[in-house]
């Protein structure tokens, strides 16, 4: 497949074109202007109202709004294109058949791919951090690689990628290393799942994976990860210290963490 023909590359070319980049900037200006307009209606602060009046919030909003929206979109598009190119490189290195190449092309031209991309574009407006934009790009590229572009799941993963902190991802990675094998067994009844998770968790804690001095940081990360449906806490009577409340890695957590990894060298399904 000619990668220059795929939608994300076309999107990048449009962003680099003056004709096409102006509407993006215009949207940003309009959004910033609405925010600034709302701010301007707030009564001046008393007794220091002259400070608020001198802040030039309209100017600041316009200055922050345009480059943030445009640059985030450009970076996200570039990172996503890099991921798609990596998938194509793997296909070429594996000597893929014409049939597989056609399937790959259909995948990146599908409605599901565009919905994944749209979810990512929406979330670019919620963060200025490059590492979070890269997470979203990896989710898209790995979704193509795995032949799994379920729009609903993609929307949830994009939101998690934009909201979770690096420390949350690092903790999820530790739990994944401990429990991923358990999820792969696929032999659960509700009863033995609870017991198996407890057993795996006890080994996890004994290994020293959790630093007790950072228990408040861990608790915040546990809470955020659970709110996204990636892990689940087992309610225990004893809550004296970090690690005493077992957390189970859920299928969505396993999938999310795997989608954040660099593109794997393997044959596409």
Give the domains, in start order, of the chain with CATH numbers: 3-163 (no CATH), 166-258 (1.10.10)
Cα separation of 246 and 240, whole Å? Answer: 13
Cα gap 138→93, rounded to integer Å: 20
Residue 181 is encoded by which pair of tokens?
């094998």
Residue 233 has pLDDT above 50, yes or no: yes
Does residue 248 register a pLDDT over 60?
yes
Segment 209-226 shows an average pLDDT of 90
DSSP alpha helix (H) spans, 207-239: 215-227
d(CA 52, CA 42): 10
- The pLDDT tens digits of the residues spanning 16-42 come to 664 444 444 445 445 544 544 544 454
pLDDT at 258: 95
Question: Which pLDDT tens digit goes with each residue over 160-209?
Answer: 999 999 999 999 999 999 998 888 875 656 667 888 888 899 899 889 88
Whole-number pLDDT of residue 137:
95
State pTM to two decimals: 0.76
Round to whole Å and give the CA distance between 70 and 6: 21
User: Residue 122 contacts by C-beta under 8 Å, 6 or more apart in sequence?
Assistant: 158
The residue length of the chain stands at: 269
Determine how β-strand 231-233 pairs with β-strand 247-249.
antiparallel
**Sequential DSSP letters for 28-96:** HHHHHHHHHHHHHTSPPPSS-HHHHHTT-HHHHHHHHHHHHHHHHHHHHHHHHHHHHHHHHHHHHHTT-
The DSSP symbol for 212 reads: G
Q: What is the pLDDT of residue 45?
A: 45
Residue 264 sits at the vertex; the CA angle it makes with 197 and 178, to the nearest 5 degrees, is: 15
Whether 232 contacts 67, CB under 8 Å: no
- What separation, in Å, do the N-terminal and C-terminal C-alpha atoms of the chain show? 16
| Cα–Cα distances in angstroms (integers) from residue 30 to residues 26, 49, 80, 123, 129, in the given order | 6, 26, 27, 18, 23
Beta bridge partners of 248: 232
């Amino acid at each position: 497949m000619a990668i220059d023909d795929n939608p994300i590359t076309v999107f990048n070319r449009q962003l680099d074109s003056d004709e096409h980049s102006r509407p993006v900037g215009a949207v940003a200006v309009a959004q910033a202007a609405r925010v600034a307009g709302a701010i301007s209606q707030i009564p001046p602060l008393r007794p220091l109202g002259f400070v608020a009046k001198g802040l030039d919030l309209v100017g600041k909003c316009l200055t922050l709004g345009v480059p943030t929206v445009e640059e985030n979109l450009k970076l996200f598009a570039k990172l996503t294109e890099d991921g798609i190119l990596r998938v194509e490189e793997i296909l070429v290195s594996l000597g893929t058949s014409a049939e597989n190449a056609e399937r790959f092309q259909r995948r990146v031209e599908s409605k599901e791919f565009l919905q994944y991309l749209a979810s990512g574009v929406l979330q670019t407006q919620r963060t200025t951090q490059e590492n979070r934009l890269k997470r979203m790009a990896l989710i898209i590229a790995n979704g193509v690689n795995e032949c799994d572009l379920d729009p609903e799941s993609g929307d949830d993963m994009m939101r998690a990628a934009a909201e979770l902190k690096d420390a949350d991802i690092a903790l999820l990675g530790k739990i994944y290393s401990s429990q991923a094998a358990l999820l792969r067994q696929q032999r659960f009844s509700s009863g033995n799942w609870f017991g198996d998770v407890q057993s795996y968790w006890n080994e996890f804690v004994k290994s020293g994976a959790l630093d007790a001095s950072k228990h408040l940081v861990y608790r915040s990360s546990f809470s955020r990860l659970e709110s996204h449906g990636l892990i689940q806490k087992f309610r225990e009577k004893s809550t004296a210290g970090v690690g005493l409340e077992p957390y189970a890695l859920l299928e969505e957590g396993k999938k999310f963490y795997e989608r954040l990894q660099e593109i794997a060298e393997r044959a596409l399904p």
